[in-house]
Amino acid sequence: MLAMPRLSTGPISKANPALLWLVCVVLGFSALNTPAQADPEKPQHVSLSADLARQQLLISWFGGTATTFDLIILRTEFNETVYYKARVSATVNRASGEYRFIWTSDVPLECTSLSVGVRSRDGQKTSEWSQNQIQGRDFPTNSRFQMYPQDRIVPVGANTTFCCIVEEGKVFKSINYSGTEIKATRLSRRSYAATAVSQTASGTTGSNVICLSTDNKLSGAVVFVGYPPLPSNFSCETHDLVSAVCQWSKERDTHLVGRKRETVFSIMGRSCAEKSPEQKCTLRQWDGNWTLVAVNPLGRHSLTDSADISHRVSPVAPVNLTSIAHAWNATLYWEWTYSSYSSLALVCQVEITSHGNKTELFSGGGLRSVVLSDLQPDEHYRVRIRCGSQRNFWKWGNWSQVLSFTTRAYVPNPPDVWMWMNRDNTGMVVWKPLTRQQSRGRMKSYTVTFWNLEEKLHTQVVPADTYSVPFNLSQMVSFSDGNKVEAKVVANNVDRSSEPSKVPLRLIDVEPLVFSRVVYGDGGFRLNWEHNASATCSYLVEWYDALCMRDCAVDWIPLAAGSTNVSIESENFQPGVRYNFSLYSCPSDAPELIQRWQGYTQELVPSSSCHLSVSQQKSDVILTWNEIPLADRRGYLRGYNVYMNNGFQLTLLSNLSNLGMRSYTVKGLPVGSYKFTVKAYTSAGEDSGTTVSIKMEDTDDLILEILASLGMVTLLLVIATVVCFKKRKWVKNAFYPDIPEPKLPSDWSRTPGPLDVKPSLHSMVHIVERPERDPSKDALVIIPEEDEDDEDQAVGDEPVDTDEPQSLRYYNDAVDERPIRPRFPDSSFSSASSVDSANTDVTYTGIQTSCSSLVFQLDPQSSAEGHQHHSNSCGGGGGVYWPQMHPTALGDTSGPASSEPLLDSQAACSGGYKPQNSWHLDSPTQAGGNNNSLGSPVSIASTQFLLPEEEEHEGEKRASATTWFSNLLSSSRP
């Protein structure tokens, strides 16, 4: 080592150039001889290894001579720093010189690629970064939709980060955890991460995490959130005195389901895979010390137990149970599965079930049978048994199977017998049904025997479900010397018969005692009576429904001698029902009625109202009502309330507490309408009431109104009579008109000839004068109405009622050229002859045909072949005109047709108008072959009059009044 010259520190007065040069040379050589400090060496052989399940990255390298390193981790795609630490604490393998560092990522390692750099550090000097990276699952060649982590198991309350790698070309939308969206962060071009915080326990199928793209495509993962195992109550016991059975219970549910996630239990390194409702594991040998270990993916828990085998004996259930049953007891037998129980001191518990449960205890060494006592005859029992160690009792063993058996029958108890007497000395012997314990076997029948002092009068056997037998005491005592008759009742079961129960029967010859009221309270009727010091007999209290008058359903209770009170309770008591109670002394010898009571368990309002009637007496109103039946009272009546009812409000007029008073008078009411309501009431309240109405009227004014009404009726009758007398002509014309007579003002005589005329629809005659006359057109035709404008109307239409008559016109000179439309089936068979007469139209009125039998010529060209006559039977009716033809007046037999068919059809009509029968033809038959009878009564040239004979005319007058309305209706226009 080179010696450095000593430098003076004092002031230099003068510079020495030689000395300065020497110093510079020495310093230069020193610098050349000192070596330069080099940078630390870069780490070599850096490698990366990923534990995807634990999200851990193992980084290893060789560092040469360096012992301190810096570490940096970046997301490769965005070059974002995830982790950086200077002077990391890396573990080193002294033998190989390898350094290792484990980094745990918050994000699954599959989410994106990571770049890792390591450099050596020496003080402030650092080496270059090593270059290495690990590939994620978001590289472009892996373009599918992905979600990480998959099937992760985490504890309750943890935070878990999930990442979603969107499908190539898709746009990320959201990440949802258990249906709730959570905030996401972008890690790379396609990767997004979101964290679920404070996770709660999942269901059996885990919690779902869903990643969605904008086009609703999705990918998902499942995470299981649960608890580590926590067993408790670990203990071991023995059943066979050799092996050990260890049991434990789960403290809580881990919420981890599935073979890979469930908890695994083991004892002393032996796996326990037994499946049972209780967690248990069987070990072949008793060790005395045991350790239970419970493990699941979230953790492990262990428990220990130790005990001596004699302190942990839990016997198994007895098997093969049998029994031998008697009437009052039974012996129970069983067997043990293990022979070691023959010397084991045991205590056993027997549970007996029959209409209730009871338990009996038995103890002994190697116990195999017990005797069950205090049983009931003919009773069905069910038993089971379990046992425990008598010394160092640990706990009861399991229950055995249930054994059923039935005890034998025995003599039944005597029945409780009483009697019920009607007022006519008839009655019933009644007894209470025996309970199962009392019957001591299935009941078969009852035997009832009636006895007097010396002999048996009558015996009757009734079925087991019958509990009464009627009797007639008057007939029975007539066969005996005394008046004492008793009934004996014997109960018969399937095995034996009971001792007889006796009850004396008595005649009722005294009036019953007065009933006292008794109040129901504390669950019963409390009855009290005075004590008779000399009385040595017992007592009996009977009760029944007070509404019953004959053969009542009676109940009773026997009491010991010296009793002075009793509380009567029964499940059959009903509210609103009155009950009668009777106290008898010496019921089994000579019953004597001592006292009677009546009472209700609960009083109710009456179920019906009284019938109310009302009447007026001058200015007073008298209300009367009847008594409410006992069945409808449902309590003790306290009285009646009388109200004035205005429809909206009831005003109390009076409260009648006297039940015998069932009428009330409301005095001094003015004229008007009133309503009254009467309500009966008990201690429970009023009934619905009955309402009546009355209208008050002044009696003097009523008589005057009646007289005034009679006077008005008389006056109206007088006025009607006077008016009808003054208008008698009008009345006669309206209801009894005269038949009009045809009048011919000029000479109508012509040569007789037949004239066929169609009957007119109407019965009026109009005479119309014509200024001109054309002999070639003389004819009698039908002229239609002026307002007949329907020319297409069908021929044969039925006539319609009208007020205007239809005219038949006869033309002596000219005929209207208008077409003729007949209103009935028409024929052209009509008179074509000329009639020399005045220019006059003749219309028949007042003569109406009611017969539709008309004769028409179908075709004027067919006259040479004959005529067709159509005749229909008449409809009947008065006032119908039928011209009558004498067969000898026709004379000419060479005509085209005979008139006999027409006469026959006309003769069939009845009740019509008939002119004189003595008319004759005035004009002969013309040469044309047409029989135009101008001498006919329908011809205006006839010399005969259209007048009926005297008796026929009078008949028509009598019929005119009855056909006036029908004529009026039938005269309507068609």
- Which CATH number is 92's domain given? 2.60.40.10
Whether 715 is covered by a domain: the verdict is no
Q: Could you give the C-alpha distances from 584 to 310, 361, 509, 529, 591, in angstroms and in order?
A: 69, 48, 16, 11, 6
Q: Which residue has the higher pLDDT, 2 or 326?
A: 326
| Residue among 228, 194, 208, 222 nearest 106 (CA) | 194
Distance CA 508, CA 78 (A): 121
- pLDDT, tens digit, for every residue of 505-562? 877 655 667 889 999 988 899 999 988 777 788 999 999 999 998 889 999 999 998 8
Report percent pLDDT > 70 for the chain.
70
The string of DSSP codes covering 449-464 is EEE-SSSEEEEEEEET
**Residue 947 scores a pLDDT above 60:** no
DSSP H or E run through 177: strand 172-177
The string of DSSP codes covering 768-819 is EE-S---GGG-EEEEEPPTT---TTPPTTPPP---SSPPEEEEESS----SP
Reading the block at residue 883, the tokens are: 């011209």
Q: Average pLDDT of the chain? A: 77
Within this chain, do residues 50 and 128 fall inside the same structural domain, yes or no? yes
Distance CA 225, CA 176 (A): 16
Within this chain, do residues 584 and 664 fall inside the same structural domain, yes or no? no
Within this chain, do residues 190 and 216 fall inside the same structural domain, yes or no? yes
Whether 557 is covered by a domain: the verdict is yes
Q: Which residue has the higher pLDDT, 862 or 730?
A: 730
Return left, alpha or beta for 441; rule: phi > 0 is left, psi -120 to 50 is alpha, else beta: left
Domain boundary among 699, 714, 729: 699
Which of the four pLDDT bands, split at 50, 70 and 90, describes residue 749? low
Which of the four pLDDT bands, split at 50, 70 and 90, describes residue 738? confident
Spatial CB neighbours of 233, under 8 Å, sequence gap ≥ 6:
247, 248, 249
Mean pLDDT of the region 161-173:
92
Whether 432 is covered by a domain: the verdict is no
Residue 697 is predicted with a pLDDT of 79
Q: What's the DSSP call for residue 89?
A: -
Residue 26 is predicted with a pLDDT of 56
Mean pLDDT of the region 955-967:
46
Q: Which of 177-191, 219-233, 960-974 has the lowest mean pLDDT?
A: 960-974
Which of the four pLDDT bands, split at 50, 70 and 90, describes residue 702? low
Distance CA 256, CA 826 (A): 113
Residue 755 is predicted with a pLDDT of 52
Peptide bond connecting 149 to the previous residue in cis, omega within 30 degrees of 0:
yes
Residue 474 is predicted with a pLDDT of 81
Residue 729 is predicted with a pLDDT of 83
- pLDDT, tens digit, for every residue of 594-617? 899 999 999 999 999 999 999 988
Mean pLDDT of the region 818-832:
39
Whether 823 is covered by a domain: the verdict is no
854 HSE (CA, 13 A, CB side)? 22
Q: What distance separates the 2 farthest-apart alpha carbons in the chain?
A: 212
Secondary structure of the chain: what % helix, strand, coil (to 5)?
A: 10, 35, 50
Mean pLDDT of the region 890-909:
36
**3-state class of 27 per DSSP?**
helix
Mean pLDDT of the region 8-25:
48
Which of the four pLDDT bands, split at 50, 70 and 90, describes residue 108? very high
Distance CA 518, CA 882 (A): 104
Residue whose tokens read 């058996």: 405
Q: Is residue 40 a contact partner of residue 68, using CB atoms and an 8 Å limit?
A: no
Within this chain, do residues 543 and 522 fall inside the same structural domain, yes or no? yes
Residue 739 is predicted with a pLDDT of 79
Which of the four pLDDT bands, split at 50, 70 and 90, describes residue 580? very high
Reading the block at residue 368, the tokens are: 């195999």
Which of the four pLDDT bands, split at 50, 70 and 90, describes residue 878? very low
> Quick one: angle between helices 699-726 and 728-735, nearest 10?
70
Residue 699 is predicted with a pLDDT of 64
- pLDDT, tens digit, for every residue of 766-789? 555 444 444 444 444 444 444 434
Which of the four pLDDT bands, split at 50, 70 and 90, describes residue 882? very low
Whether 676 is covered by a domain: the verdict is yes
| Residue among 434, 436, 431 nearest 489 (CA) | 431
**Residue 103 scores a pLDDT above 90:** yes
- pLDDT, tens digit, for every residue of 475-502? 776 654 556 788 999 999 998 899 999 9
Distance CA 278, CA 590 (A): 72
Q: Could you give the C-alpha distances from 63 to 72, 91, 131, in angstroms and in order?
A: 16, 12, 14
| Residue among 352, 348, 349, 383 nearest 365 (CA) | 348
Mean pLDDT of the region 343-359:
89
Mean pLDDT of the region 176-196:
93
**Residue 886 scores a pLDDT above 60:** no
Residue 966 is predicted with a pLDDT of 47
Distance CA 185, CA 924 (A): 138
Structural domain range at position 648: 612-699
Label the pairing between strands 207-213 and 218-226.
antiparallel
**Residue 890 scores a pLDDT above 60:** no
Within this chain, do residues 91 and 105 fall inside the same structural domain, yes or no? yes
Residue 917 is predicted with a pLDDT of 44
Whether 675 is covered by a domain: the verdict is yes
Angle CA 378–384–390, to nearest 5: 130
Residue 211 is predicted with a pLDDT of 94
Q: How many domains does the chain have?
A: 6
Residue 484 is predicted with a pLDDT of 78
| Residue among 406, 410, 412, 408 nearest 438 (CA) | 412
Domain boundary among 635, 670, 699: 699
**Residue 670 scores a pLDDT above 60:** yes
Within this chain, do residues 287 and 335 fall inside the same structural domain, yes or no? no
Within this chain, do residues 175 and 189 fall inside the same structural domain, yes or no? yes
Within this chain, do residues 248 and 219 fall inside the same structural domain, yes or no? no
Q: Which of 233-247, 500-514, 561-575 has the lowest mean pLDDT?
A: 500-514
Whether 236 is covered by a domain: the verdict is yes
Angle CA 273–275–278, to nearest 5: 110
The string of DSSP codes covering 614-653 is EEEETTEEEEEE-PPPHHHH-S---EEEEEEE-SS-EEEE
User: What pTM value is reported for the model?
Assistant: 0.49
Within this chain, do residues 158 and 128 fall inside the same structural domain, yes or no? no
**Residue 461 scores a pLDDT above 90:** yes
Mean pLDDT of the region 940-958:
45
Within this chain, do residues 384 and 349 fall inside the same structural domain, yes or no? yes
Domain boundary among 582, 602, 622: 602
**Residue 843 scores a pLDDT above 60:** no
Mean pLDDT of the region 73-81:
92
Residue 160 is predicted with a pLDDT of 93
- pLDDT, tens digit, for every residue of 427-451? 999 999 998 889 999 999 999 999 8
Distance CA 228, CA 224 (A): 12
Q: Which of 156-160, 338-342, 402-406, 632-636 has the lowest mean pLDDT?
A: 338-342
Spatial CB neighbours of 268, under 8 Å, sequence gap ≥ 6:
283, 287, 290, 291
Within this chain, do residues 552 and 581 fall inside the same structural domain, yes or no? yes
Distance CA 268, CA 291 (A): 6
Q: Could you give the C-alpha distances from 176 to 45, 210, 221, 495, in angstroms and in order?
A: 42, 5, 11, 81
One-letter-per-residue 3-state SS of 691-719: EEEEEECCHHHHHHHHHHHHHHHHHHHHH
Whether 173 is covered by a domain: the verdict is yes
Q: Which of 386-395, 691-700, 940-949 has the lowest mean pLDDT?
A: 940-949
Within this chain, do residues 381 and 328 fall inside the same structural domain, yes or no? yes
Which of the four pLDDT bands, split at 50, 70 and 90, describes residue 790? very low
726 HSE (CA, 13 A, CB side)? 5
Counting Cβ atoms within 10 Å, is residue 948 exposed (0-12), middle (13-18) or buried (19+)?
A: middle
Which of the four pLDDT bands, split at 50, 70 and 90, describes residue 800? very low
- pLDDT, tens digit, for every residue of 539-553? 999 999 999 988 899
Phi, psi of 492 (to 5 degrees): -120, 120
